[in-house]
Amino acid sequence: MDTQDYEDDSSEPSPSKSRRKGSAHSADIEEIDESCQIMVNNSDNVLRILRNLYHDKEMCDVYLKVGNKEYGAHRLILCATSDVFQAMLMCPKWSEWHESRVELLELPICEGFFNLFLEYLYTGKILITHTNVMPILALADKYIVKGLSRVCLSYMCKHVPHAASHNQLFSWLQYSTACGHTKVMETCQNYIKWNFEAVANTPDFSNFDIDMFTRILWQNDIVVHNEMVLYNCVTRWLELEKIKMQLVCCNNVEIEKNFKNLVERIMSCIRFPMMTPRELAELLLSTIIKQHKEFFMDRMAIGMKYHSGYTDQIQPYYNTEEGRLLFIPRLYTSDSCSAILTIENFRTIPSYHTSTFVFSSHLSAAEHESHKVNEWLVDLYPRGIWFKKCYLIVWQGTLEVPEEVLYTVRLSLTCRELSETDMRVKVSVLIYGLQGKNKPFRTILTKNSW
């Protein structure tokens, strides 16, 4: 039988020519067996065909109306990429399954990005930015496009500081909380707690949900200069909330009643014993305290008793979880509670280099124990540590300890003056990096020691 060569109408070269060394073609070919087998990878061309199918609107068998726009599509593609579309267009229980035109009710924020979402179903490609990630994620969640959801969630986890600088942090937090996207929710919460002062100075701060704001204020790992600064941030948030109340309600009596309840709920989270006696005295001049004296006088009295050493009078507060939290310091960055170690030119630091410094801290936040100070020795190994081989002499004899190299960042903290009494210490290491002019905290490690 004679063998004839057939020319393909496509732009692709014949397999025989593609095997020649140095020949160029659109399909990637991997030779499995030099004698008679080749692997043809023509996926790029297939994707191009699907993309053209979407843009040219050829052979469309269903039209999706979103807002004022209509998009031509193909049932096969929609059903293959989305579980919701599959049920909607293939199941007789749905009224849309036999319709050629389907109206979809989307959130206003999602309508303008539906074309990008639809194109992704055909091509698997989409440009994600801080302005469209929320509506794209909402569409991916609604239509159960899991691959796109994962991409959006990964993007959000990596770009939380960017969202904060563009006043989108709290919308990300609210959506991820409502939809159970735990990792994004925790990343947003941590950013707020670890950069509280910076977040409080953004216009987005007024969008903080009341319940979420309360939960965060109860946390121990909020990073602020001191409790007084946190109080001022909370006061500003309350003032913004009162403005919102005045815009939606004209009844002054009802506004004052609701605002009073809100003040007591939010200010219960402030740890007045962690303020100095001088700061507590300055609070008496605060407008919000003058307006709610009865509530604040009781809270401030707890702080003064704590600083005066009236242990028996404040002991009952330790019987409740809320009361115990009043006497637990947060992560304060004031000079009396922290020290800063800056690592410059990190890439040029030699391996196993040690940075050492000494700082002191008060053993108690109470004023009556302000004379009790302890010194700490810090050894930081930013480029790993090298334990050389040594010999350990014990009663059984001499033991050889082999060398070991650890390439992780390590930090050791040593108390230079051991107390005669038992002492409980909470040590936190705050790690941050430069991002433009901002210094957002990236990681916080906390350990409790006795």
The tens digit of pLDDT for each residue in 95-116 reads 888 888 999 999 999 999 999 9
| Alpha carbon distance 439, 333 (integer Å) | 14
Same structural domain for residues 371 and 297?
no
Is residue 277 situated within a structural domain? yes
- Does 326 fall in a domain? yes
pTM comes to 0.82
pLDDT of 437: 61
- Give the contacts of 172 (CB within 8 A, at least 6 positions apart): 134, 156, 160, 163, 184, 188
DSSP characters over 284-324: GG-HHHHHTHHHHHHHHHHHHHHHHT-HHHHGGGGGSHHHH
pLDDT at position 28 is 53
| Whether 441 contacts 164, CB under 8 Å | no
Question: Does residue 290 fall inside a structural domain?
Answer: yes
**How many residues does this entry show for the chain?**
450
* Whether residue 130 sits in one domain with residue 33: yes
Q: Could you tell me the pLDDT band of residue 8, with boundaries at 50, 70 and 90?
A: very low
Which H or E run contains 332? strand 331-332
Query: Is the torsion defined by CA of 9, 10, 14, 15 positive or negative?
Result: negative
347 and 439 co-located in one domain: yes
Q: Kindly state whether residues 316 and 387 are assigned to the same domain.
A: no
Asked whether residue 3 carries a pLDDT value surpassing 50, the answer given is no
Choice among 133-137, 171-175, 185-189, 353-357 with the minimum mean pLDDT: 353-357
In a domain, 8, yes or no: no
Q: Look at residue 266 and tell me whether its pLDDT is greater than 60.
A: yes
* Domain span including residue 340: 335-449
State the DSSP string of 238-268. HHHHHHHHHHH---HHHHHHHHHHHHHHHHT
State the helix-helix crossing angle for 146-158 and 182-194, rounded to 10 degrees. 10
Statement to judge: residues 328 and 385 lie in one domain = no
243 in the same domain as 143: no
Place of tokens 């107390």: 419
pLDDT surpassing 50 at residue 31: yes
What is the number of structural domains in the chain? Answer: 3
Instruction: Examine the pLDDT at 4 and tell me if it is beyond 50.
Output: no
3-state SS of 178-236 is HHCCHHHHHHHHHHHHHCHHHHHCCHHHHHCCHHHHHHHHCCCCCEECCHHHHHHHHHH
Higher pLDDT, 269 or 391: 269
Q: Are 245 and 346 found together in one domain?
A: no
Q: Same domain, yes or no, for 225 and 284?
A: yes
Last residue of a domain, one of 309, 334, 359: 334
The verdict on 230 and 291 lying in the same domain is yes
Task: Identify whether residues 343 and 406 lie together within a single domain.
Answer: yes
User: Would 193 be classed as within a structural domain?
Assistant: no
In this predicted model, what pLDDT tens digit does every residue of 392-441 receive, in sequence order?
888 888 888 899 999 888 888 888 876 666 777 888 888 877 666 666 66
Mean pLDDT of 136-156: 97
227 and 345 housed in the same domain = no
39-43, 84-88, 203-207: lowest mean pLDDT where?
A: 39-43
Please check whether residue 197 lies inside any domain of the structure.
no
170 in a domain, yes or no? no
Q: Locate tokens 């957002």: which residue?
A: 440
* pLDDT over threshold 90, residue 302: yes
Domain boundary among 281, 308, 334: 334
Cα 259 to Cα 244: distance, rounded to the nearest angstrom: 11
Interatomic CA distance for residues 140 and 136, integer angstroms: 6
How far, in Å, CA of 34 to CA of 44, rounded?
Answer: 24
One-letter amino acid for residue 30 of the chain = E
Residue 316 exposure: Cα atoms within 13 Å on the Cβ side: 3
Residue 20 resides in a domain = no
Pairing of strands 425-432, 441-449: antiparallel
Out of 297, 313, 334, pick the residue that ends a domain: 334
| CATH number of the structural domain spanning residue 38 | 3.30.710.10
Tell me: do 235 and 274 sit in the same domain. yes
